[in-house]
Structure 1
Amino acid sequence: MSQNVTLLEQINGRYDFTFVGNTLNTGENNVQATLSYLTSSTANLNLDSEDVVQRAYLYWAGSGTGDFEIKLNDNEISAERTFSHSRFIGGTLFNFFSAFADVTNLVQVTGNGDYTFSDLDIATDLAQHFTYRTNFSGWAILIVYENPNLPLNQLNIYDGLQGVPDALQIELTDLYVLNNTNAKAGFIAWEGDSQLPTETFTVNGTIISNPFNPPNNVFNSTNSVTGSNQLYNMDLDIYEIDDYISIGDTNASIALTSFQDFIMINTVITKLNSQLPDATIVLTPPSTECDSREILIDFTVSNLNSTEFLPAATPITFYIESQPIGTTFTQGIIPIGGNENGSIILNIPESFGLNFSLIANVDDDGSGVGIVIELNENNNTFEIEIDFNVSPDFNTLPNIRNCNLGLTRGIFDFSSYEELVKTNSLHEVSFHENWDDANQNINPIFNPSNYEAITTPKEIYVRIDNGGCYAITQFLLETYNCPPTVYNAVSANNDGMNDGFFIDGLRDVFTNFELLIFNRWGKHLWTGNNNKPDWDGYVSEGVGSKQAPEGTYYYILYLNDPDYTEPLTGYLYLTR
């Protein structure tokens, strides 16, 4: 069981790296007569005055299943990531571990000076491993620093935990070599021995070495930073690799072979001169107008992880599926670490429906081809989901006609229309007295079951909302002249009850009516209309006015309405 060494982070700028660390072994485990180990050890960091720490990653490792709570300069440190490796030796399973913690803030505050690692508790595991001389423990900090005098470099940090013997090959990807001058590679490795010269280390097929690391024993308990050869059972090695990589390389292959010694690779870091931009794009989710296929897309093009400016007029193409639907360009030069905001209006063909994925590809001329060489050609795409909003469908509502209560006033019940107008039960419906109120969704009608229209015809506006869009429809409230109701009893005694000849649904409805009253011998006694009060038993036709006696009387009512061409006739009873 192991974890492949893969890319952790890529850093571009005026950067370089170094190591600080130490072993917790008192000697090489391969020659120890008795188990001996340290509970703490110290190493010194000595950067130049212009070097500014940007990253500080602590790795510690040892035999056994691990201890992931330690101290650095008496600060409690907890592992943020852990790695493990195991192998059978003599039929017994032996475990190994390493751990990672980001200690950048601690190192930035502390600066140059001594760093003491302590509180690693793996004593029980060391005793088991000592039987096969695989007991070890140690620590290292990978320091990435910035210096204004450095060239623009690309640093690639890889980590994991892979073991040898036999053969191990690690592919270093996401490189781009523009200049191989001062290219170098560094390693944090565990459990190497200077007494076992049975290993080789190759880059792109070529065996490499340096004065501290002979070609047949490169992992030999050495520290390339300090020149120490007493870094027992661990290695902090840095190699110049100018001669082993070529301009234009985007990957490199590191291979290890060992026929006796057991080695574990924990961390690899490369430094290459790569002065290139790296364009990325981010889209802001747009707001869409109801029933519109046009959208305004806001975007940000960045050149963050780069070592060169991104030129102006870098193309940006927008795709739905594989079809380009619009292209625009950056406006100005985007500096290292900078960005530029832009926007584009896209008209979306109806063939893509209401829901689709919109893909933006920076450095794409519309044919899938870029015009700028970048550090990373695989991070130019951003995708968002677009949902178009459409107004809800609705059912047409019929007009409502009720009796005219006078001067076209009417009482109406349209409460059932709330459900009738819907084509979806989840839609929200409200009624309004004018279009502006419906459009703004203000002043709803609260009494649709007993709504009084002062005058008719009256238009009622209905707003149907589906949660994203709304539609407005309308219907009419109308009145018509219903047949009047005659109450044919008159008690003209001024008691406030039936004191006059009342006909319900007549006044202010049939405004041109004419009412004639006759006695039983056919004599015309009284004429009334919309401007006169009800007949109260007084005779007004002929000479003078006098009270009519109790008895039966007859009326003729001319409504003078095109819907009522024949007069209404009948009798009434007058009492006093």
Structure 2
Amino acid sequence: MKKLLVFILFIFQLSFSQNIGLYSQFNGRYDFTFVGNTLNPAENSFQAAPSIFTTSSASLSLNTGDNIEAAYLYWAGCGTGDFDVKLNGTDITATRTFSNILDQGIIFNFFSAFADVTAQVQATGNGVYTLSDLDVNSFINHHFQNRTNFAGWALIVVYKNTALPLNQLNVYDGMQVVSVLQNYLDVPLNALNVIDNVDAKIGFLAWEGDSGIANNESLRINGNILSNPPLNPANNAFNSTNSVTGSNQLYNMDLDIYNIQNNINVGDTSALIQLTSFQDYVMVNAIVTKLNSQLPDARITFTNSAPTCNSRELTLNYTITNFNSTADLLANTPITFYADGVVIGSAFTQNIIPIDGSESGTITLTIPASIPLQFNLIAAVDDTGNGTGIYNEISESNNTFTLPIRLLVSPEFNIPNNIQSCNLGLTRAIFDFSAYEESIKVNTTDEVTFYETESDANAEINPILILSNYEAVTTPKTIWVRIENTDGCYSITSFQLNSYNCPPIVYNAVSPNGDGLNDVFYIAGLRDIFLNFKLEVYNRWGRLIWTGDNNKPDWDGSVNHAIGEDKSPGATYYYILYLNDENYPNPLNGYLYLKR
């Protein structure tokens, strides 16, 4: 009567919980069992005073050939939670938790905790399992007001046996409530693939059910009542029972397994669990389904070979797997490759891929020019090129694999201008192209280096180290430029160094006294530059006294065009310089001063 009294006393009540959803799936020759026990010394409805244990035990007894694949420990109780317990003396800390709040003017908290204890149970195997240090004593007096004081634990054990048929086994968990507050609860179970419903079964882990409350308390699957009398009557589904052991003294918790062979149909991909309760407060924590299934499950992964600069070809090494499946994957299963949604290639599996088998392949794909340098490359198995496949699979949502791809290209650059500098003789010239190191590159992170030959630039050897005072022995000379980005791609460009004949500079004072200063008539920028120049020197009366060219020494005051003295006296003279250069059509002339 406890829940009925609560309903009368508290009309406005609220309950909060977490929806049940798929946690884990196993495909193959699997089945499951429950192990667990309550910590209540008696059903809370019949307790004269609140009392609870902190330790209880239960036994696991699997058959020969049963190999443990997974073991999930759940523990629960009234209160805000105890998330550190021991299993056979080993410390266990919850990795996932669930909670429920019943608000009926007075707040009542409930919790459930989860830990994956597969390794421990595999090591222990059959035998007694003892859960200890689960302590909710500080909450039981408060919850005794509503007769919702409880605690307990359970192991969901998934095992494999080669003698079992091929099954799909799903573990769903969460924390949802059916009660006087919420008379009806729908729990949709998705991710099913029913091929054959023979020996199909479903198991429930639920908390706080009472054997003495049977007020319209039912459990349905796809609209059909589930019952297993006398252990689980149709009107009292959650009644402190354990279907594995046949016990009806699992106080305020349920480990119930039902045969659903005639309640689920071949081809079903989901099932609807419906619970009703007009009085009892029941928290469903986990649901396990086992259904016969014979389907492949194709998946694909790939790796991209080392990218090549300026190439739109990608070579992929891909692997098709049929893991966690219940049937072979047939040969000629289509594979399609997409770049940003555009089909760029296809292939087929070559062989039958057995359960838990794999097959590797290689394909070279050409990326169209319309695809940007950065894109998503998608490989899809069991895909005919339009997103649809040809086989039913255990999961239709795991057929693709995606990797972001970035094609590598040589860096862009600004084309350098040719450089001119004065001819220092025989086309030798000095140049400064140090500013080109920054002006050529477009991307500031690129590295620019200069070389004297194209082969050196490609090989990245013998770079020019002095850029601001570079001497070209002869011109024109080509300078090669390597622009390299952080991807290791590079571009090669070049510019030309050219010399030109700058105007000569005339020093018009001559004092041929052998002191090394102005001993000759010196014209800078003339010799070996204007190779065909002609120089004439005239005295004050206009008489030609000396001629010279690139093959004669500079004028030192001597006479080579007059009769008489072979040396000119100190005086003012006149010169005419014919450069014989198309850029200088007019001769240069002026006075010069000879001092003796």
Normalising to structure 2: TM-score of the pair?
A: 0.87
- Spell out the pairing of 1:378-389 with structure 2 (5 A cutoff): 378-389=397-408
**Conserved? CA contact 2:304–2:315, under 8 Å:** no
Deviates more, 1:336-345 or 1:231-240: 336-345
| 1:490 partnered with 2:518 | no
| 1:327 partnered with 2:350 | no
Instruction: For residue 146 of structure 1, report the CA deviation from its aligned partner.
Output: 2.1
Instruction: For residue 34 of structure 1, report the CA deviation from its aligned partner.
Output: 1.6
- Identify the residue that residue 4 of structure 2 maps to in structure 1: none
What SS does the aligned partner of 1:124 have? helix
Deviates more, 1:199-208 or 1:74-83: 199-208
- Identify the residue that residue 184 of structure 1 maps to in structure 2: 201
In structure 2, what residue type is equivalent to 1:376? S
What SS does the aligned partner of 2:235 have? coil
What SS does the aligned partner of 1:216 have? coil
Instruction: For residue 531 of structure 1, report the CA deviation from its aligned partner.
Output: 4.2
In structure 1, C-alpha distance between the alignment counterparts of 2:331 and 2:260, rounded to whole Å: 35
- Spell out the pairing of 1:155-166 with structure 2 (5 A cutoff): 155-165=169-179, 166=183
Q: Which runs of 5+ in 1 are unaligned?
A: none
Deviates more, 1:536-545 or 1:166-175: 536-545
**Conserved? CA contact 2:301–2:320, under 8 Å:** yes
CA separation of 1:545 and 1:345: change in aligned 2, threshold 3 A:
farther
Deviates more, 1:220-229 or 1:120-129: 220-229
Matching residue within 246, 252, 266 for 2:271: 252
Instruction: For residue 503 of structure 1, report the CA deviation from its aligned partner.
Output: 1.6
| 1:512 partnered with 2:532 | yes
In structure 2, C-alpha distance between the alignment counterparts of 1:9 and 1:220, rounded to whole Å: 27
In structure 1, C-alpha distance between the alignment counterparts of 2:481 and 2:350, rounded to whole Å: 48
- Spell out the pairing of 1:134-533 with structure 2 (5 A cutoff): 134-165=148-179, 166-198=183-215, 199-211=217-229, 212-284=231-303, 292-320=311-339, 323-389=342-408, 391-418=410-437, 420-421=439-440, 429-439=448-458, 443-464=462-483, 467=486, 470-517=490-537, 527-533=547-553
- Identify the residue that residue 13 of structure 2 maps to in structure 1: none
Deviates more, 1:387-396 or 1:113-122: 387-396
In structure 1, C-alpha distance between the alignment counterparts of 2:352 and 2:426, rounded to whole Å: 75
Q: Which runs of 5+ in 2 are unaligned?
A: 1-15
In structure 1, C-alpha distance between the alignment counterparts of 2:453 and 2:355, rounded to whole Å: 57
| 1:38 partnered with 2:53 | yes
What SS does the aligned partner of 2:143 have? helix
What SS does the aligned partner of 1:370 have? coil
What SS does the aligned partner of 2:176 have? strand
Matching residue within 128, 135, 140 for 1:121: 135
Question: In the TM superposition, what whole-angstrom CA distance separates every residue of 1:146-187 from its partner, at most 9, and x where no partner exists?
Answer: 223323221111000111121222111111122222222222
Question: In the TM superposition, what whole-angstrom CA distance separates every residue of 1:515-549 from its partner, at most 9, and x where no partner exists?
Answer: 45555566666554434443444556799996655
Question: In the TM superposition, what whole-angstrom CA distance separates every residue of 1:412-437 from its partner, at most 9, and x where no partner exists?
Answer: 23344455545566665444433344
**Conserved? CA contact 2:546–2:561, under 8 Å:** yes
In structure 2, C-alpha distance between the alignment counterparts of 1:60 and 1:569, rounded to whole Å: 113
CA separation of 1:464 and 1:73: change in aligned 2, threshold 3 A:
same
- Identify the residue that residue 562 of structure 1 maps to in structure 2: 582
CA separation of 1:338 and 1:403: change in aligned 2, threshold 3 A:
same
In structure 2, C-alpha distance between the alignment counterparts of 1:435 and 1:338, rounded to whole Å: 53
In structure 2, what residue type is equivalent to 1:97? F
In structure 2, C-alpha distance between the alignment counterparts of 1:476 and 1:422, rounded to whole Å: 18
In structure 2, C-alpha distance between the alignment counterparts of 1:574 and 1:337, rounded to whole Å: 107
In structure 2, C-alpha distance between the alignment counterparts of 1:145 and 1:187, rounded to whole Å: 17
Instruction: For residue 291 of structure 1, report the CA deviation from its aligned partner.
Output: 5.1
**Conserved? CA contact 2:100–2:109, under 8 Å:** yes
CA separation of 1:329 and 1:545: change in aligned 2, threshold 3 A:
farther
In structure 1, C-alpha distance between the alignment counterparts of 2:318 and 2:432, rounded to whole Å: 52
**Conserved? CA contact 2:507–2:522, under 8 Å:** yes
**Conserved? CA contact 2:557–2:567, under 8 Å:** yes
After superposition, the CA RMSD in angstroms is 2.9
Aligned length: 575
Q: Percent identity?
A: 60
Deviates more, 1:135-144 or 1:253-262: 253-262
Question: In the TM superposition, what whole-angstrom CA distance separates every residue of 1:232-268 from its partner, at most 9, and x where no partner exists?
Answer: 1111222222222222221122222222222111111
In structure 1, C-alpha distance between the alignment counterparts of 2:565 and 2:345, rounded to whole Å: 93
CA separation of 1:321 and 1:557: change in aligned 2, threshold 3 A:
closer
What SS does the aligned partner of 1:260 have? coil
In structure 2, C-alpha distance between the alignment counterparts of 1:71 and 1:267, rounded to whole Å: 21
Question: In the TM superposition, what whole-angstrom CA distance separates every residue of 1:270-302 from its partner, at most 9, and x where no partner exists?
Answer: 112212211122343676555554444443322
